[in-house]
Chains A and B, each alone.
Chain A
Amino acid sequence: AQKVTQAQTEISVVEKEDVTLDCVYETRDTTYYLFWYKQPPSGELVFLIRRNSFDEQNEISGRYSWNFQKSTSSFNFTITASQVVDSAVYFCALSEARVTGNQFYFGTGTSLTVIP
Protein backbone atom coordinates (compact mmCIF):
# COMPACT_ATOMS: atom_id res chain seq x y z
CA ALA A 1 0.00 0.00 0.00
CA GLN A 2 1.09 3.51 -0.71
CA LYS A 3 1.60 5.89 2.18
CA VAL A 4 3.21 9.26 2.74
CA THR A 5 4.24 10.45 6.19
CA GLN A 6 5.07 14.00 7.15
CA ALA A 7 6.00 13.82 10.80
CA GLN A 8 6.35 17.58 11.22
CA THR A 9 2.93 19.10 11.80
CA GLU A 10 4.01 22.70 12.30
CA ILE A 11 7.30 24.53 11.89
CA SER A 12 8.14 28.14 12.69
CA VAL A 13 11.30 29.82 11.53
CA VAL A 14 12.57 33.37 11.51
CA GLU A 15 12.89 35.01 8.14
CA LYS A 16 16.14 34.21 6.28
CA GLU A 17 16.63 30.95 8.13
CA ASP A 18 16.82 27.71 6.18
CA VAL A 19 14.10 25.13 6.80
CA THR A 20 13.85 21.46 5.86
CA LEU A 21 10.56 19.64 5.55
CA ASP A 22 10.67 15.88 5.99
CA CYS A 23 8.80 13.26 3.98
CA VAL A 24 8.89 9.47 4.19
CA TYR A 25 6.98 7.31 1.75
CA GLU A 26 5.96 3.69 1.23
CA THR A 27 5.22 2.00 -2.08
CA ARG A 28 5.61 -1.39 -3.73
CA ASP A 29 5.94 0.13 -7.18
CA THR A 30 9.37 0.29 -8.74
CA THR A 31 8.39 3.32 -10.82
CA TYR A 32 6.82 6.19 -8.97
CA TYR A 33 6.94 9.95 -8.67
CA LEU A 34 7.38 12.21 -5.70
CA PHE A 35 6.16 15.75 -5.38
CA TRP A 36 6.09 18.73 -3.14
CA TYR A 37 3.11 21.05 -3.27
CA LYS A 38 2.48 24.32 -1.49
CA GLN A 39 -1.00 25.31 -0.35
CA PRO A 40 -1.43 28.94 0.65
CA PRO A 41 -4.52 30.06 2.59
CA SER A 42 -6.39 30.51 -0.70
CA GLY A 43 -6.49 26.72 -0.94
CA GLU A 44 -5.10 26.08 -4.40
CA LEU A 45 -2.33 23.51 -4.62
CA VAL A 46 0.81 24.98 -6.14
CA PHE A 47 3.25 22.56 -7.73
CA LEU A 48 6.85 22.99 -6.53
CA ILE A 49 8.97 20.02 -7.54
CA ARG A 50 8.71 16.52 -8.98
CA ARG A 51 11.15 13.66 -8.87
CA ASN A 52 10.89 10.19 -10.42
CA SER A 53 12.02 7.02 -8.71
CA PHE A 54 14.87 6.27 -11.08
CA ASP A 55 16.60 9.61 -10.71
CA GLU A 56 18.11 10.18 -7.30
CA GLN A 57 20.12 13.19 -8.32
CA ASN A 58 19.47 15.99 -5.92
CA GLU A 59 19.09 19.45 -7.33
CA ILE A 60 18.68 23.04 -6.39
CA SER A 61 16.13 25.29 -8.00
CA GLY A 62 16.40 28.83 -6.78
CA ARG A 63 15.76 28.78 -3.04
CA TYR A 64 14.39 25.23 -3.19
CA SER A 65 16.40 22.05 -2.96
CA TRP A 66 15.53 18.44 -2.28
CA ASN A 67 17.17 15.32 -1.00
CA PHE A 68 15.79 12.08 -2.43
CA GLN A 69 17.11 8.86 -0.91
CA LYS A 70 15.52 5.59 -2.05
CA SER A 71 17.46 3.62 0.55
CA THR A 72 15.57 5.36 3.34
CA SER A 73 12.41 6.15 1.31
CA SER A 74 12.78 9.82 2.09
CA PHE A 75 12.17 12.91 0.02
CA ASN A 76 13.07 15.97 2.05
CA PHE A 77 12.56 19.53 0.87
CA THR A 78 14.61 22.55 1.90
CA ILE A 79 13.84 26.22 1.54
CA THR A 80 16.92 28.40 1.80
CA ALA A 81 16.74 31.93 3.19
CA SER A 82 13.04 31.65 4.01
CA GLN A 83 10.69 34.54 3.35
CA VAL A 84 7.35 35.49 4.85
CA VAL A 85 5.67 34.57 1.55
CA ASP A 86 6.82 30.99 2.10
CA SER A 87 4.30 30.67 4.92
CA ALA A 88 1.88 27.97 3.83
CA VAL A 89 1.07 24.29 4.23
CA TYR A 90 3.43 22.04 2.33
CA PHE A 91 2.39 18.61 1.12
CA CYS A 92 4.54 15.75 0.01
CA ALA A 93 2.83 13.41 -2.44
CA LEU A 94 3.49 10.07 -4.09
CA SER A 95 2.14 9.08 -7.48
CA GLU A 96 2.17 5.75 -9.22
CA ALA A 97 2.81 5.39 -12.94
CA ARG A 98 -0.52 4.78 -14.63
CA VAL A 99 -1.27 5.35 -18.28
CA THR A 100 -4.79 6.55 -17.50
CA GLY A 101 -3.61 9.26 -15.14
CA ASN A 102 -1.74 9.34 -11.92
CA GLN A 103 -3.47 8.95 -8.57
CA PHE A 104 -1.83 10.97 -5.82
CA TYR A 105 -1.26 9.94 -2.22
CA PHE A 106 -0.70 12.96 -0.03
CA GLY A 107 0.85 13.34 3.38
CA THR A 108 -0.94 15.23 6.11
CA GLY A 109 1.04 18.39 5.45
CA THR A 110 3.48 20.58 7.33
CA SER A 111 2.36 24.08 8.23
CA LEU A 112 5.26 26.47 7.84
CA THR A 113 5.21 29.90 9.45
CA VAL A 114 7.98 32.32 8.61
CA ILE A 115 8.24 35.05 11.20
CA PRO A 116 9.46 38.44 9.99
Chain B
Amino acid sequence: DAGVTQSPTHLIKTRGQHVTLRCSPISGHKSVSWYQQVLGQGPQFIFQYYEKEERGRGNFPDRFSARQFPNYSSELNVNALLLGDSALYLCASSDARSLTYNEQFFGPGTRLTVL
Protein backbone atom coordinates (compact mmCIF):
# COMPACT_ATOMS: atom_id res chain seq x y z
CA ASP B 1 0.00 0.00 0.00
CA ALA B 2 1.21 3.51 -0.82
CA GLY B 3 2.10 5.72 2.10
CA VAL B 4 1.42 9.41 2.46
CA THR B 5 2.62 11.25 -0.62
CA GLN B 6 3.48 14.92 -0.94
CA SER B 7 4.24 17.11 -3.91
CA PRO B 8 6.38 18.76 -4.91
CA THR B 9 9.48 17.42 -3.19
CA HIS B 10 11.33 20.69 -3.37
CA LEU B 11 10.20 24.20 -4.20
CA ILE B 12 11.93 27.55 -4.54
CA LYS B 13 9.93 30.76 -4.38
CA THR B 14 10.66 34.45 -3.87
CA ARG B 15 9.29 36.73 -1.20
CA GLY B 16 5.73 37.85 -1.76
CA GLN B 17 4.80 34.89 -3.93
CA HIS B 18 2.13 32.31 -3.24
CA VAL B 19 2.69 28.56 -2.87
CA THR B 20 0.46 25.48 -2.85
CA LEU B 21 1.62 22.21 -1.35
CA ARG B 22 -0.25 18.97 -1.86
CA CYS B 23 -0.75 15.87 0.19
CA SER B 24 -2.40 12.54 -0.58
CA PRO B 25 -3.22 10.51 2.53
CA ILE B 26 -3.08 6.78 2.84
CA SER B 27 -6.10 5.20 1.19
CA GLY B 28 -9.02 5.13 3.62
CA HIS B 29 -7.60 7.82 5.89
CA LYS B 30 -9.95 10.72 6.48
CA SER B 31 -7.79 12.98 8.62
CA VAL B 32 -4.88 15.07 7.37
CA SER B 33 -2.58 17.28 9.42
CA TRP B 34 0.07 19.75 8.31
CA TYR B 35 3.27 20.59 10.15
CA GLN B 36 6.02 23.13 9.53
CA GLN B 37 9.57 22.22 10.47
CA VAL B 38 12.05 25.07 10.40
CA LEU B 39 15.69 24.03 10.23
CA GLY B 40 16.95 22.99 13.63
CA GLN B 41 13.51 22.82 15.22
CA GLY B 42 10.83 20.24 15.77
CA PRO B 43 7.72 20.14 13.58
CA GLN B 44 5.04 22.67 14.53
CA PHE B 45 1.36 21.95 14.03
CA ILE B 46 -0.37 24.12 11.42
CA PHE B 47 -3.73 22.55 10.56
CA GLN B 48 -5.79 19.44 10.95
CA TYR B 49 -8.65 18.50 8.65
CA TYR B 50 -11.15 15.72 9.15
CA GLU B 51 -13.94 14.91 6.74
CA LYS B 52 -13.17 18.10 4.82
CA GLU B 53 -13.63 20.35 7.83
CA GLU B 54 -10.97 22.19 9.79
CA ARG B 55 -10.69 20.57 13.22
CA GLY B 56 -7.55 22.22 14.53
CA ARG B 57 -5.35 25.21 13.84
CA GLY B 58 -1.94 26.04 15.24
CA ASN B 59 -0.50 29.47 15.94
CA PHE B 60 0.12 30.54 12.35
CA PRO B 61 -0.90 33.76 10.56
CA ASP B 62 -3.85 34.00 8.20
CA ARG B 63 -1.43 33.81 5.27
CA PHE B 64 -1.59 30.07 5.86
CA SER B 65 -4.72 28.27 4.73
CA ALA B 66 -5.64 24.74 3.81
CA ARG B 67 -8.46 22.66 2.51
CA GLN B 68 -9.39 19.02 2.16
CA PHE B 69 -11.07 17.59 -0.90
CA PRO B 70 -13.80 14.93 -1.20
CA ASN B 71 -11.11 12.30 -1.88
CA TYR B 72 -9.45 13.39 1.41
CA SER B 73 -6.36 14.82 -0.27
CA SER B 74 -5.33 18.20 1.01
CA GLU B 75 -3.66 21.42 -0.05
CA LEU B 76 -1.72 23.86 2.09
CA ASN B 77 -1.58 27.39 0.73
CA VAL B 78 0.75 30.12 1.88
CA ASN B 79 0.34 33.68 0.61
CA ALA B 80 2.79 36.59 0.64
CA LEU B 81 5.75 34.36 1.36
CA LEU B 82 8.37 35.52 3.84
CA LEU B 83 11.93 34.34 4.22
CA GLY B 84 10.90 32.76 7.51
CA ASP B 85 8.47 30.46 5.71
CA SER B 86 11.43 28.47 4.43
CA ALA B 87 10.97 25.06 6.01
CA LEU B 88 10.13 21.41 5.54
CA TYR B 89 6.35 21.01 5.37
CA LEU B 90 5.13 17.66 6.58
CA CYS B 91 1.77 16.09 6.02
CA ALA B 92 0.40 13.30 8.21
CA SER B 93 -2.70 11.18 7.74
CA SER B 94 -4.83 9.14 10.10
CA ASP B 95 -7.85 6.89 9.67
CA ALA B 96 -9.53 8.49 12.71
CA ARG B 97 -11.61 5.36 13.41
CA SER B 98 -10.78 4.95 17.08
CA LEU B 99 -12.40 7.03 19.79
CA THR B 100 -9.06 7.36 21.51
CA TYR B 101 -5.90 6.84 19.57
CA ASN B 102 -5.40 7.08 15.84
CA GLU B 103 -1.97 6.39 14.42
CA GLN B 104 -0.51 9.19 12.33
CA PHE B 105 1.64 8.43 9.33
CA PHE B 106 3.99 11.11 8.02
CA GLY B 107 4.85 11.84 4.43
CA PRO B 108 8.36 12.66 3.16
CA GLY B 109 7.72 16.38 3.24
CA THR B 110 8.05 19.31 0.84
CA ARG B 111 11.12 21.46 1.30
CA LEU B 112 10.24 25.09 0.59
CA THR B 113 12.94 27.68 0.11
CA VAL B 114 11.98 31.34 -0.01
CA LEU B 115 14.58 33.68 -1.51
In the complex, chain A residues 44-85 whose Cβ is within 8 Å of any chain B Cβ: 44-45, 47, 52
In the complex, chain B residues 44-93 whose Cβ is within 8 Å of any chain A Cβ: 44-45, 48, 50, 55-56, 88, 90, 92
Q: How far is the CB of B68 from chain A (nearest CB, A)?
A: 11
Residues of B within 8 A of A52 (CB): 101
Q: A104–B94 Cα gap in the complex (Å)?
A: 12
Residues of B within 8 A of A7 (CB): none
Known A43-B88, A43-B111; judge A108-B35 contact (CB<8 A): no
Known A44-B106, A44-B109, A52-B101; judge A100-B42 contact (CB<8 A): no
Map CB proximity to B onto A78-111 as digits: 1 under 8 Å, 0 otherwise. 0000000000000101010111111111111100
Number of cross-chain contacts by CB at 8 Å: 73
Q: A108–B40 Cα gap in the complex (Å)?
A: 7
Q: A31–B101 Cα gap in the complex (Å)?
A: 10
Q: A108–B37 Cα gap in the complex (Å)?
A: 10
Q: How far is the CB of B16 from chain A (nearest CB, A)?
A: 26
Contact A101 B42 (CB under 8 A): no
Residues of B within 8 A of A105 (CB): 45
Give chain A's interface residues, CB within 8 Å of chain B: 4, 31, 33, 42-45, 47, 52, 91, 93, 95, 97-109
Q: List 13 A-B contacts (CB under 8 A).
A: A4-B42, A91-B42, A91-B43, A93-B42, A99-B100, A100-B56, A100-B96, A101-B32, A101-B48, A102-B101, A102-B104, A103-B45, A107-B42
Give chain B's interface residues, CB within 8 Å of chain A: 31-33, 35, 40-45, 48, 50, 55-56, 88, 90, 92, 94, 96, 98-102, 104, 106-109, 111
